[in-house]
Amino acid sequence: MDKPVTELNKTASKAPSIRKKKKLVLVGTPNVGKSVIFNLLTGTYVVVSNYPGTTVEVARGTGKIGQEVYEVIDTPGMYSLFPITEEERVTRTLLLTEKPDIVIHVVDAKNLERMLPLTLQLLEAGLPVILAVNMMDEAEVLGRTIDLDALAKALNIPVVGTAAAQNRGIDQLKRMVSDFVRKHVA
């Protein structure tokens, strides 16, 4: 005899749910440490593949942050959301079509002022941004101090200082990602 529909629904609800990986995209200008952060978040070295239809390489990996598993994407360097180069076009297309759950904008602490216009463009595009001010160790050697709390207030986004090459600030970055996703991503 067939089971009643209500009994089938109860059985179906006990089936394990398949959770979609959250998508985390790393963006920033060339040589700011995106790939180092990618390696620290995924536990692997960068494995690259060409973005469909281009010769531009995009690295993808998987990493667990908190209780979530993320697809982590390391994009080609970009200076603006208004693309001039093929690399910038690929990164912009990826950001606008792949709908990331979180975008980590990695900037060089020594050249912060030159990099913040891209942060503002990402925010104006409605993207979920965390700012990682990387190379804090190099800025400190130059005697430069950055008030990360004031920067976070001014931008109204989470901001973390890192020295990725020394694995400094990465645990704090992971906590920020977990907190941000818990508060803002369904």
Question: How much is the pTM?
Answer: 0.85
Looking at residue 184, its pLDDT comes to 81
CATH architecture of 19-184: 3-Layer(aba) Sandwich (3.40)
Q: Which residues, listed in sequence order, are joined to residue 103 by a DSSP beta bridge?
A: 25, 129
Order the strands of the 57-65 sheet from edge to edge: 48-50, 57-65, 68-74, 22-27, 102-108, 129-134, 159-161
pLDDT digits (tens, 9 = 90+) for 54-108: 557 888 999 999 989 999 999 999 999 999 998 899 999 999 998 999 999 999 9
Mean pLDDT of the 15-40 span = 84
How is 157-182 classified by DSSP, letter by letter?
S-EEE-BGGGTBSHHHHHHHHHHHHH
Boundaries of every domain in the chain: 19-184
